[in-house]
Structures are given as C-alpha cells and as structure tokens.
Amino acid sequence: MIKFENVVLASPEQMEFIIEGMRNPMNSWDKSDSHTCRQDGSFCMECGHKNGYCLGQNDRSLMQRLSNSGTDHRKFMRMMPVYVRITAPLYWWKEFNTYKIGTVVNSCSTMHKIAEKEFTLEDFSTDHLIDVSILGVEALIDYLNVSREAYVETKDKKYWWQMIQLLPSSYNQTRNVMMNYEVLANIYKSRKDHKLDEWREFCKWIETLPYSELTCGRVKQYIIGVDLSKED
C-alpha cells in the first residue's frame, strides 16, 4: 500500500526562475516563450496542467533536449521541486532511504509516538497476505496492544521495547518528502518494473505529474494545436 497526498509543485515564479537559469549557458533568454497564466488557471486551455503557468513550445523543447542529453546538461531539473506526503510500509521506506541526495524527509516518529493510539489491522500493509498470515498479524496486533496498554499504565520502558522490536516492516508510516525532478527521473528509470507494488505505483504517480516527459521520457502534448513530439 502506498498513498500520495498534498502534492506541491513549483510556483509560476519558481518556473520563471528555473527557465531563466536553464537558458543562461547560451544567453538565450529572448527565446523563452513561457508565461504566467493570463486567465483563471482552472479554465485555461493553454496551461495544460492548470497550475497557473503556461510552458511555451520553445522552452518545453529545450527542456526535453537537455533532459535527453543526460544529467550534466539537465541541471534545471534539480531546481524543480516536488513536495508530497507519502504513507507507505516500512519495508518500502527502507528502500526509499537509499535516495539521500536531493531529498529531505520529515517522518512521523515511531520512537516517540508508537503508543499514541491503539494498533489496528489498517495500520499495516496486508494486501498480499493469505488468510493464515492475516491471523498471524492479528495475533501480533493483539500482543502489541497489550504491551501498549501496559506501557501507558506503567511507563515501564520494557513494554515500549516490546512494541519497538516487534513492530513488523509492514507497518505504514507517513512522511513529508521534498524531492526534485532529477531524483524522480532516476527513480523512474530504476524502479518502474520493480517487484514491489509500491515502487510501480510510485512510478505511475510520477507519470501523472506535470512535465512527466522529463522524468519518464515520454513526450506529451499539452499546448493545443502544437505537436510537441517534434523538436525545433
């Protein structure tokens, strides 16, 4: 199980700054054709992503070419932030933790808040478990709750240790994550066919983001009447 909430992307002002920097090496600022939406973004037929910023054909084409040229040329992607609140099991977070560069994470603490509420089956990712395994998880949950109640009543740390050391990797944890488009491109390339459902769902989520052709290598048409699959 994996859930994505509260996605925050680059503002129009940030996009202007990013594109300006992208064009610095060739001093080609005069060729930029992007602009802040001149209409209510929810009704604009030009913006495509309804995010209040209209990315022009020239800028999009340059972005695509730089993205295809490799990491040395697509530094602008490291300047494109993505904020998202993710809930996923600990076994998935353990793999996500390998992406240290370009990410910042604030997590809900199991150390400090593990006894905050009663454990329930919904707190765990169990979608692939067979019936007998579900029974095992339910038995473990019962014991975790016994330890929790004992800890709440006595504050004896030995009961806290029972929860910490018995908590399975299927326990779902929520973290607020900051990444950038370069990180997403690397994740998509290496994880899109991963055996874990959570990674495949993560890559499907990447595909839904604005300008996903930069991270997924797929050119999409967002500007009405313009074939963006052809380079200038």
Span 70-89, average pLDDT: 97
Is the pLDDT reported for residue 48 higher than 90? no
Residues 182 and 78: beta-carbon distance below 8 Å: yes
Residue with tokens 């949950």: 141
What are the residues facing 5 on neighbouring strands? Answer: 85
Q: Which pLDDT does position 100 carry in this prediction?
A: 87
pTM: 0.88
Residues 47 and 54: beta-carbon distance below 8 Å: yes
Give me the DSSP letters along 78-136.
GGSEEEEEEEEEHHHHHHHTT--TT-EEEE--HHHHTTSS---GGGB--TT--HHHHHH
Q: Which pLDDT does position 226 carry in this prediction?
A: 38
> What count of other Cβ atoms lies within 10 Å of the Cβ of residue 84?
17
Rg (CA), the chain: 22
**pLDDT tens for residues 127-179?**
999 999 999 999 999 999 999 999 999 999 999 999 999 999 999 999 999 99
Is the pLDDT reported for residue 227 higher than 50? no
| Terminal CA-CA length for the chain | 42
- Angstrom distance (rounded) from CA 5 to CA 95: 20
- Angstrom distance (rounded) from CA 98 to CA 80: 20
